[in-house]
Amino acid sequence: MNLGITTFFDNRPKVKKYLPQAITLFFIIFIFGYFTYNAQVNMDNRGIDFGLRFLGEEASFDISFSLIEYSGASSYAKAYLVGVLNTILVAVVGIFFATILGVTIGIARLSSNYLIAKVSEWYIEIFRNIPLLLQLFFWYFAALRALPLPKEAVNIFDIAYLSIKGLYVPKFIWTNFSIFLFSIVAAIVAIIFVFKYAKKQQEQSGKRIPAFLISLCIFVVLPLLTFLIGGVSLTFEHPVLTQLSQTIYNYIGGVAIIPELMALAAALSLYTATFIAECVRAGIMGVTKGQKEAAASIGLTPGQILRLVIMPQALRIIIPPTTNQYLNLTKNSSLAAAIAYPDIVLVFAGTAMMQTGRAIEIVSITMLTYLSLSIAISIFMNWYNKKIAIKEK
Amino acid sequence: MIKNINFLGKPSREKFNLFVPLGIFLLSLGLIDVTLNSLFDVNITSFFPRGLNYFAPLIFGFLGLYYLRIEFSGNKILDKLNININSNWFNSILTLLIIFVLIQNIPPLLNWLIIDANFVGTTKEDCTNSGACWIFIKIWFPRLMYGLYPSTELWRVNTSFIMLIVLVVSLFYIPIKLKKYVIVFLIFVFPFIMFNLIHGGNFGLEWVETTAWGGLSLTFIISIFALILCFPIGMFLALGRRSEAPVTRYSSIGFIEFWRGVPLITVLFMASVMFPMFLPDGVYMDKLFRVIIAITLFEAAYMAEVIRGGLQALPRGQYDAAKSLGMGYWRLHMLVILPQALKLVIPGIANTFLALVKDTPLILVVGLLELVGMIDMAKTNPDWLGFATEGYVFAGILFWFICYNMSRYSQRLEEKYKTDR
């Protein structure tokens, strides 16, 4: 019997090639069809129709923290946008701090100083092995709740005020902001030219131009000029402690960074930094010892060795796994829902779904949003990785 | 900077007896200053101006370490110290900062954790000391471990976990011939026994609703079932991704990348609110099972990538050799490729399991109460308000202990299999 089937297939190579694929395809279509059919029946029974028309309806719920103008009268689509922007905000903030911390800890772990290496190692071992959700709860429910009330807020050099209601920082109020922005763009373009020119000069004549100093000057002087002659000015709106009622005080004005955002950013960056540190360490250790010795033998200082010889090579090893960590951070930012930071999961998959009851549409949109964010980050990092890869001749 | 303070000349071996006592004196002055400052609130350098006063211990310590930095001093301890924590001025500042931070933070932490903590008593009112209130954990301990599982039936959970531990530990000691059977038993038979024992409903065992399951045991129930279930799916996905047939390959890639691109929390939402819509009318599936299925699919994608790594690491010669013996696709993979590839990825599987255990607390967003969820419940209990910190610290230490040991174990495995090749 078995032999019969084998010979049957061996005599018909095309069938042998295509039959398993056809079965797979049929299986996938069957599952999708079956689920769609069931969903259709279930929705018919409950009297809901499938569609995205609800996105235009009035959301009529409030969001505690929003980067764009939003009120209860806005549509669900706008609420979705607020959620996405909040997610992107916390991901960007988290990636920024996680990278700085991770690179520092990764380098510190390889330090010749025993204490620094040990402390970094223990930092990594502790923060990596505690579930992120638990860390998030710790920061939010235990650490940040221990902050003082607004009336006795921690005063940070009279600029920012830290209290249980969040961190209040001055708001920047610009006039002619676009001119300032243009000047920064112009400065960056000029700096690129300076660096290109310096490199060319060095390759042709061996003369070194202090490109870093020149570009620093350009970067300071050009925007400064806009203040002097371009009519740009900057004023600050300081947060002011105001009595709202008999016993309730709060800061009014300025920009409020809500405690949810702080807790989330802290937990995400402290957790992800441990993984980035390990990537950095692996990358630096991946550069062969001969490279370091060769660099030292031509008289480079330890700082120069790290900056000019080790890092450019280590980066090629570091970037692919670090990309993964950035992706993880972005996905982990969805834990925001657990502490009521209004990210896409809380706003859209939480509140909006409760109100509309459109489980299929909303969960699908949420998943697709994360999927596109992930894909966007990996495309960008792949592009960057390709750019710094060794160009073989 | 250093030249200016160098009025005694460069620390050298000739003046060993001058520099070393001076250095030790200055260093200990700095350390004593910080210790007194942070522990007893006494400031022995208060006669300095305000700004200098703050940095006084750092300056003393810095000078002390500078005078101690004698190259090839001949004293073994001093040389070791210099190489490891005092190789240049930058290192010495970092060393001092770390020591100061440790001196300032460790005693209060120990005070809170142990010395001033409350251990004896049964109610919130017994927590009179200023430290942590571990009574909270003591009273809630059964709940934190077993959730709302009826306390008379706890032996069932205990028995199944003890059985699991005994079986896993026995794997290390029994002869290789028997090992195969134990593994088969563990993977194919034991889950059903465990499930039956905990869930009950037959063999005279009382039926326990899944909503009553919880605590740390739920973390492990979910992780173990998800791991066992995701393994075969992940294996097929990995093979599918390497297959030459486009339909199989692209559907595997699509499946894997989809699950890897979305966060677990949305997957859980999908399981709890979207999945019931996909089931035939009138069919109801328990929420815990839906969650386990969702986590299984999610983990299968990660498992597939781990196994693919192992498949890729095998040299081509293995495929060619098996093919030249006339083996077909399945025999080639089952008898030659997979046994070797799976051995290579054992550390990777251990890491996946570790990540899974760390991810499980998330199930609280769909209303299943494992350890973190139970703490959330306990801290909002009117009799026990205000002990969130104790709860999270306890859960943190517990999870840390488990995860740290698991990661150490997986590192050991990695090392072991590295030398094997």
pLDDT for A350-369, tens place per residue? 888 888 877 788 888 888 99
Q: B364–A133: do the CB atoms touch at under 8 Å?
A: yes
Distance from CA of A42 to the nearest CA of B (A): 6
Neighbouring-strand partners of residue B370: B215
% of chain B residues with pLDDT over 70: 92
In a domain, B97, yes or no: yes
What's the mean pLDDT in B174-179?
A: 80
Given this model, what pLDDT does residue B8 score? 60
Nearest CB partner across the interface for A349, out of B258, B269, B404:
B269
In a domain, B187, yes or no: no
Instruction: Identify the closest residue of chain A to B269 by CA–CA distance.
Output: A363
Q: What is d(CA A249, CA A245) in angstroms, rounded to the nearest whole number?
A: 7
B374 shares a domain with B284: yes
CA-to-CA separations, A16 to A1, A9, A21, B39, in angstroms, rounded: 17, 5, 9, 79
> How many residue pairs from chains A and B have C-beta atoms closer than 8 A?
158
Instruction: Identify the closest residue of chain A to B396 by CA–CA distance.
Output: A130
CB B124 within 8 A of CB B133: yes
Tokens standing for A3?
A: 């032999």
Number of CB atoms found within 10 A of residue A217's CB: 14
Distance from CA of B310 to the nearest CA of A (A): 18
CB A133 within 8 A of CB A311: no
Chain A CB contacts of B305 below 8 Å? none
Q: What is d(CA B12, CA A382) in angstroms, rounded to the nearest whole number?
A: 54
Least confident span in A245-259, B82-96, B177-191, B310-324: A245-259
State the average pLDDT for chain A: 82
pLDDT in tens, A124-164: 999 999 999 888 988 888 877 777 777 777 777 777 777 77
Nearest CB partner across the interface for B361, out of A45, A133, A332:
A133
Least confident span in A49-58, A76-85, B245-254: A49-58
In a domain, B9, yes or no: no
Given this model, what pLDDT does residue B51 score? 64
Mutant choice from B259, B262, B284 vs A, greatest count of A C-beta within 10 A: B262
3-state helix, strand, coil in chain B (%, to 5): 75, 0, 20
Given this model, what pLDDT does residue B10 score? 67
Instruction: Identify the closest residue of chain B to A377 by CA–CA distance.
Output: B261
Chain B CB contacts of A131 below 8 Å? 358-361, 372, 399, 403
Q: Is the pLDDT of residue B420 over 60?
A: no
B142 shares a domain with B84: no
Chain B CB contacts of A119 below 8 Å? 98
Chain B CB contacts of A332 below 8 Å? 263
B72 shares a domain with B145: no
How many domains is chain B partitioned into structurally? 2
Nearest CB partner across the interface for A28, out of B95, B251, B281:
B251
pLDDT in tens, A204-231: 887 777 777 888 888 787 777 777 776 6
B140 shares a domain with B84: no
Q: Do the bridges between strand A249-252 and strand A160-163 make them parallel or antiparallel, or are there none, so unpaired? A: unpaired
In a domain, B183, yes or no: no
Chain A CB contacts of B233 below 8 Å? none
Q: Regarding predicted confidence, which is higher, A62 or B5?
A: A62
Nearest CB partner across the interface for B280, out of A38, A112, A131:
A38
Q: What is d(CA B409, CA B421) in angstroms, rounded to the nearest whole number?
A: 19
B144 shares a domain with B39: no
Q: What is d(CA B203, CA B403) in angstroms, rounded to the nearest whole number?
A: 36
Chain A CB contacts of B264 below 8 Å? 331, 334
In a domain, B124, yes or no: no
Q: Is the pLDDT of residue A30 over 80?
A: yes
State the average pLDDT for chain B: 81
Give residue B249's domain range.
134-149+208-420
B69 shares a domain with B142: no
What CATH number is attached to the domain comprising B269? 1.10.3720.10
User: Please, which pLDDT band fits residue B24 given cuts at 50, 70 and 90?
Assistant: confident
User: Please, which pLDDT band fits residue A1 given cuts at 50, 70 and 90?
Assistant: very low
φ, ψ dihedrals at B234, nearest 5°:
-60, -35
Given this model, what pLDDT does residue B107 score? 82
What's the mean pLDDT in B201-206?
A: 71
Instruction: Identify the closest residue of chain B to A378 by CA–CA distance.
Output: B261
B329 shares a domain with B376: yes
Nearest CB partner across the interface for A38, out of B278, B395, B403:
B278
pLDDT in tens, A234-249: 777 777 777 777 777 7
What's the mean pLDDT in B400-410?
A: 88
Q: B261–A371: do the CB atoms touch at under 8 Å?
A: yes
Distance from CA of A147 to the nearest CA of B (A): 13
B141 shares a domain with B74: no
Q: B404–A129: do the CB atoms touch at under 8 Å?
A: yes
B356 shares a domain with B255: yes
Q: A337–B84: do the CB atoms touch at under 8 Å?
A: no
Q: Spell out the residues 6+ positions from residue A22 whose beta carbon is closer than 8 angstroms to its own.
A: B247
Mutant choice from B97, B259, B265 vs A, greatest count of A C-beta within 10 A: B265
Q: B277–A366: do the CB atoms touch at under 8 Å?
A: no
In a domain, B128, yes or no: no
Chain B CB contacts of A132 below 8 Å? 358
Work out the burial of residue A314: count CB atoms within 10 Å of its CB; fewer than 13 is exposed, 13-18 middle, 19 or more buried: buried
B356 shares a domain with B286: yes
Work out the burial of residue B200: count CB atoms within 10 Å of its CB; fewer than 13 is exposed, 13-18 middle, 19 or more buried: middle
Number of CB atoms found within 10 A of residue B313's CB: 12
Q: B245–A363: do the CB atoms touch at under 8 Å?
A: no
Given this model, what pLDDT does residue B1 score? 45
B315 shares a domain with B231: yes
Q: A38–B266: do the CB atoms touch at under 8 Å?
A: no
User: Please, which pLDDT band fits residue B328 given cuts at 50, 70 and 90?
Assistant: confident
In a domain, B296, yes or no: yes
User: Please, which pLDDT band fits residue B412 given cuts at 50, 70 and 90?
Assistant: confident
User: Please, which pLDDT band fits residue B9 given cuts at 50, 70 and 90?
Assistant: low
B90 shares a domain with B239: no
In a domain, B200, yes or no: no
